[in-house]
Amino acid sequence: MHAPFPCIAGRILAAAAGVAIGWTQAARASEPVDAPDGWENVAQVQFLDARRAFEARLQADPADHDARIGLAVALLNVQPRQSANIERALALLEEVRSDGRGEQVIEATYLLARIHQLHRDPADPYKAVELFDELLAAHPDHPLAQMGFVEAAMLRLYVLDEASPAATFATLEQRAAHLSDPTARRDFHLTMAAAASRLRLGDAAALRHLRAADAVGLAKRNTAGNLYIRAATRARALGQVDLAEAYERRFLAEFPRDFRAYTIRQRLGAPATQPAEATP
Amino acid sequence: MKAATLLNLFGVVLTAGAFAASIVTVATRTAREAAPEQITIRMCHWQLEAGMRDAFDAVAKEYSRLHPNVRIEQIAVPGRVYGSYTRTRLAGRNVPDLVEVGDQTDELLTRHFLPLTRYVEQPNPYNAGTDLEGVPWRDTFIDGLGHAPGLESLQEYYAIPNSIVTVRVYYNKPLYRAIMGHDRPPETYEAFLDVCRRAQRHLGTDGRPIQPLAGSRFNANILLDALFRSQTQKLAREIDELGQLRTPAHPALAFLNERVSFDHPAIRDGLQLMREVGIMMPAGFLQLDREDAFYFAQQRALMIVTGSWDYRSIADQSPFEIGLFPIPLPSPDDPTYGRHVLGPVAEGGRGLGINFCVSNDSKHPEVAINFLRFLTSRRGHELFVGISKWLPVVLGVEPAEETLAFRPIPEGYTDGFHIAPIMWGSGEMYRVQSNHLHRLLTPDGSVETFVSLMRAELPAAVHADTLRLIKSYNENVRRSDSTLTALRRRDGDGKLSAGWETQNAQEADLYWLRRRLAQAGG
C-alpha cells in the first residue's frame, strides 16, 4: 500500500510551481522591452544581442555597410566560436571592401587583416601583413592604417622571422618615421621597447622607445607606472643615474601607495615614509 | 497501520503548513514590493564569518533610518555553493540588486552588471563634512580603486570594495607563556622554528603533546606558500625581463624561463622550508578542510596561520587570550635561507576584497548604488569595520583596536612566485603538485622524492598551462577587436586610446609567449 504523502505532496508542489511560474512570466511580460543600438551591445560585450540588432538593420536596409561591419565584428565573438561565423564575417567585410567607400573600406580592410592575423584558425600572418601594408600604402595618414603598421610590427618581430631580430628592429624604426597618429606612435614605441628587452636588443634601444612613448603620452595609469619603473631600470643599467632618478621620483609622486614604492625608495635612498618630490 | 496513517497525515499537514507559510512570505514580500513608496534592495555575499552579517545589518539599519522607504536585505550563501547560486540566478535574470564577486570573467561583468565609472568619478555625498568631501568616490579608497575588477581590460569600474585582508600567525598566549616562559612573538624564522620545536616537546593539560601549528590544507596554502615565495624573491627579479619589478603573473611564465628549474638552489630551499614547517602541522592536514581545523580553539595546538577574515570567528570560539604576529619569513640575514631573500613583502596594493557589483536587472540601481556609497562612506565604513572587525579600505577609517595587528604592512618588496597554490588552484601545474605534495610534507617524504616526481611531470604541465594562458590572451585580444570597433564610433572620453594600449600590450605578450613556448620545445 502506498502512503498518500508523496502523491498529495507532489500535487501541492506542482500546483505551487505552476503558480510561481505563472507569476514570474506575468512579471516578465510587464517589463519594458529594451532595444539597444547594435554598437552599444558590441561595446558591452553582448555579441549575441549585437548580432540580432545588426541582422535586423541589414534586413531593413541591405545597403547599410555600417551594419555589415557591425554584424561582422559581432560574429567574430559570438560564443561558441564557430568557423562558419568567422567565414561569414570575412565575406561581409569583403563585400564592404568591394562595394563600400572611404572610411568603411579602410575599416573593412583593417578588420580583414585582423581576421587573418588572429581570428581564423589557422591564422595567416603573411596575409595579414600583406593587407596591413596595402592599407598603409593606400592611406598613409589614416590612424587605422597606422595602427595596422603597429600590428604588423608585432608579427614581424615575434612571428615571421623575415630577418634577424636586430635587422627587423632597425627596419621598423626607419619605417616608423611617418607615424603621425599619437595613439599609433605611442603603441609602436611601447611594442618596440618590450621587444628590445625580450629579444635582448639592448637597454639603450628599450630606453629610447620608452622615452618616446612617454613623450607621446600614455592613456592608462598602470602603463605609466610600469613605464617609469622600466625606464628607470634601463637607465640605471646604462649608468644614466640622473635620468633613472627622475623617473623614480615621478613614480613615487604619482604612485606613492604602489606595492613597488618601497623598492624605488630603497633605490633612491629616500626616506621610507615620505614620497620624494618629482623633478619636472 | 493506524500509526503509519497518522504519520502520513502528519507529513501532509506539515507539508501543507510549510507551503502556506512560504506563500504568506512570498505574498507579504510581493505586497511590500508592490507598494510604490517601498524599495527593497537585496545583496548576496558569501561572508559567513562571525560579525560580518551583523555589520552589514547595522549599516543597512542606519541607511534605512536615513531613507525610511528603503529596506536592505542580505542573502548570505555558503562559499562552496555561492558560485552555482549566482550562476543560476544570473542565468534566470533573477539576481539580487547587489552581488559580491570574486574571480569573474570580463564577459560576466559586462553582461550582468552596471558600469560604475561615472559614479566613482563623482564625490560620495555621504562624505560631506569630512576631509573626503568633494573627493571623487574612487579616491576615497586606500588604493584609489587601482585594482578594481575589470578595470585593466574593460576600462570601466564595476565593483566597490569593502575590505582588505592580511594574514597573521594567531597564538594561544597563556600556552605560549607556559612553553616559552614569555609571550613575546618570534621575530625571525629561526626563532619561529624554535617555538615550534619546543611546542612539540610540551605536553598539554590532558597529557598529550601540543601540536605546534593547527590547520588544514587551507592554512598550509597561506603559510607554506609564503615560505616558498620568500625563496624566489630574487629569482623573480632576475627573470623580470621587462624590468617592471613585477612577479610573473602565472607560475608557468616563471618555469618557462630557462633559469628556473628544480636544480636552482632557490627552488630547492623553498621546498626545504615548506617541508621543515609542514611537518609541524597535524598528521594528514592535507586531507582536512578549512572547517576541520579545531585544534587551536581546543588548545591542542599553539598556533594557527590564517587571515584577518577569521579573527572574529576564532576569537569567539577560543576561551583564552590570542596574540598575533606576521609570518616570520626568513630575512636576508638568515644563515640558511637568507641568500635568496630581498626582504619583507609589502602587503598593500594587491587589490581589495568584498567587492559588490550592481545587477543590470536591478529595479532600483540608483538606490543600490546609493547604498554602496553609504556603506563605503567614512561614517558607514566606520560602523562596518567596528562591528565586523575586518580591515578598512576607506581613507581615514582606523581598524578596530583588537585588529590593529592586521593592518597591512605598507613597506616591503615584491613577493616571489610559487609552483602552484596548495588549495583553490586550477590547471595542470596545480594538479601535478597536488598529486605529489604529500611526498614533500609528510615525515616519511623528502625534497628529493618530491623533486624526482615533479621533474618528470612538471614540464608537460607548464606547457599545458602556458597553452591555456595563450588561449586566454587570444580571447581577450579577439574580443577587443570588436569592442574597439564599437568605441571608434562613440569615442570622446579617452577609452579608445586606453583600449588600444591594453590590446596592443596583451597582443605583444601573446606573441612573445608563443615564441617562448616554441623555443622551450612546445
Q: Is the pLDDT of residue A16 over 70?
A: no
Which among B11, B410, B504 has the least Cβ separation from residue A190? B504
Q: Is the pLDDT of residue B460 over 90?
A: yes
Q: Is the pLDDT of residue A183 over 80?
A: yes
**Residue A45's pLDDT is what?**
81
Residue range B79-93: average pLDDT? 89
**Whole-number Å distance between alpha carbons of B91 and B435:** 35
| Cβ of residue B121 closer than 8 Å to a chain A Cβ | no
Residues of B within 8 A of A150 (CB-CB) are 504
Tell me the per-residue pLDDT of B177-190, one tens digit each, with 9 for 90 and over: 999 999 999 999 99
* Same domain? B294 vs B322: yes
**Residue to test with chain A: of B30, B414, B485, B490, most A Cβ within 10 A:** B485
In a domain, B19, yes or no: no
Phi and psi at residue B302, in whole multiples of 5°? -80, -35
Residue of A nearest to B243 (CA): A230
**Residue B220's pLDDT is what?**
92
**Residue B32's pLDDT is what?**
58
* Same domain? B316 vs B181: yes
Which among B22, B350, B411 has the least Cβ separation from residue A262? B411
In a domain, B308, yes or no: yes
Number of domains comprising chain B: 3
Residues of A within 8 A of B142 (CB-CB) are 257
Tell me the per-residue pLDDT of B422-453, one tens digit each, with 9 for 90 and over: 987 889 999 999 999 999 999 999 999 999 99
* Same domain? B454 vs B415: no
Tell me the per-residue pLDDT of A205-260, one tens digit each, with 9 for 90 and over: 999 999 999 999 999 888 999 999 999 999 999 999 999 999 999 999 988 878 88
* Same domain? B74 vs B207: no
Q: Is the pLDDT of residue A20 over 70?
A: no
Beta strands in B426-472 (DSSP E): none
Cross-chain Cβ contact B348/A257 below 8 Å: yes
In a domain, B401, yes or no: no
**Residue A33's pLDDT is what?**
35
In a domain, B6, yes or no: no
* Same domain? B304 vs B451: no
DSSP state for residue B155 in the 8-state scheme: S
Q: Is the pLDDT of residue B480 over 80?
A: yes
Which residue is it, cell 605560549?
B176
* Same domain? B211 vs B326: yes
Which among B152, B411, B512 has the least Cβ separation from residue A158? B512
Contacts of B189 (CB under 8 A, 6+ apart): B328, B329, B330, B331, B334, B337
Cross-chain Cβ contact A219/B494 below 8 Å: yes
Which among A9, A40, A77 has the least Cβ separation from residue B478? A77
Residues of A within 8 A of B410 (CB-CB) are 257, 262
**Whole-number Å distance between alpha carbons of B256 and B254:** 5
* Same domain? B159 vs B180: no
* Same domain? B62 vs B124: yes
**Whole-number Å distance between alpha carbons of B202 and B362:** 58
DSSP state for residue B457 in the 8-state scheme: H
**Residue B348's pLDDT is what?**
65
**Residue B349's pLDDT is what?**
59
Residues of B within 8 A of A194 (CB-CB) are 242, 505, 508, 512
**Residue B170's pLDDT is what?**
96
Which among A9, A43, A187 has the least Cβ separation from residue B15? A9
Q: Is the pLDDT of residue B505 over 80?
A: yes
- Chain A nearest C-alpha distance from B101 (Å): 18
* Same domain? B157 vs B226: no
Cross-chain Cβ contact A77/B482 below 8 Å: yes
In a domain, B324, yes or no: yes
**Whole-number Å distance between alpha carbons of B138 and B145:** 6
Closest CA to A72 of A101, A104, A44: A104
Which among A147, A195, A263 has the least Cβ separation from residue B413? A263
The residue ranking higher by pLDDT, A155 or B83, is: A155
Residue range A96-103: average pLDDT? 90
In a domain, B17, yes or no: no
Residue of A nearest to B141 (CA): A257
| Cβ of residue B351 closer than 8 Å to a chain A Cβ | no
**Residue A1's pLDDT is what?**
30
DSSP state for residue B164 in the 8-state scheme: B
Q: Is the pLDDT of residue A34 over 80?
A: no
The residue ranking higher by pLDDT, A28 or B46, is: B46
Tell me the per-residue pLDDT of B347-386, one tens digit each, with 9 for 90 and over: 865 678 999 999 988 999 999 999 999 999 999 999 999 9
Q: Is the pLDDT of residue A24 over 50?
A: no
Residue of B nearest to A42 (CA): B483
Which residue is it, cell 635612498?
A269
Lowest mean pLDDT among B7-16, B72-81, B505-514: B7-16
Residue range A198-208: average pLDDT? 97
* Same domain? B470 vs B362: no
* Same domain? B67 vs B198: no
Cell numbers for B489, please give them: 564610433
B4 burial (CB, 10 Å; 0-12 / 13-18 / 19+) is exposed
Closest CA to B509 of B259, B233, B249: B249
**Residue A155's pLDDT is what?**
98
Phi and psi at residue B329, in whole multiples of 5°? -75, 155
Residue of A nearest to B143 (CA): A257
Residue range B268-274: average pLDDT? 98
Most confident region among A241-245, B150-154, B204-208, B298-302 by mean pLDDT: A241-245
Q: Is the pLDDT of residue A150 over 70?
A: yes
- Chain B nearest C-alpha distance from A136 (Å): 18
Mean pLDDT (chain B) is 90
Contacts of A56 (CB under 8 A, 6+ apart): none
- Kindly report the CA angle at B377 between B373 and B379, in degrees rounded to 5? 135
* Same domain? B271 vs B362: no
SS3 sequence of B321-364? CEEEECCCCCCCCCCCCHHHCCCCECCCCCCCECEEEEECCCCC
**Residue B509 belongs to what domain range?**
425-522
Closest CA to B236 of B210, B215, B198, B264: B264
Would you place residue A276 in the very low, low, confident or very high pLDDT band (cuts 50, 70, 90)? very low
**CATH number for the domain harbouring residue B292:** 3.40.190.10
**Residue A269's pLDDT is what?**
86
ipTM above 0.90, yes or no: no
**Residue A21's pLDDT is what?**
37
| Cβ of residue B349 closer than 8 Å to a chain A Cβ | yes
Question: What DSSP line would sit under chain A, residue for residue?
Answer: ---HHHHHHHHHHHHHHHHHHHHHHHHHHTSPPP---HHHHHHTT-HHHHHHHHHHHHHH-TT-HHHHHHHHHHHTTPSSP-HHHHHHHHHHHHHHHHH--THHHHHHHHHHHHIIIIISSS--HHHHHHHHHHHHHH-TT-HHHHHHHHHHHHHIIIII-SS-HHHHHHHHHHHGGG---HHHHHHHHHHHHHHHHHTT--HHHHHHHHHHHHHH--S-HHHHHHHHHHHHHHHHHTT-HHHHHHHHHHHHHH-TTSTTHHHHHHHHT--SSSPPPPP-
CA B417 to chain centre: 17
Would you place residue B33 in the very low, low, confident or very high pLDDT band (cuts 50, 70, 90)? low
In a domain, B403, yes or no: no
Residue range B43-48: average pLDDT? 95
In a domain, B326, yes or no: yes
Lowest mean pLDDT among A30-34, A234-238, B59-63, B215-219: A30-34
Instruction: Write down the domain spans for chain A.
Output: 38-100
Residue of B nearest to A259 (CA): B349
Question: What DSSP line would sit under B238-292, residue for residue?
Answer: HT-TT-S----SSHHHHHTSTT-STTSHHHHHHHHHHHHHHTTSPTTGGG--GGG
**Residue A2's pLDDT is what?**
36
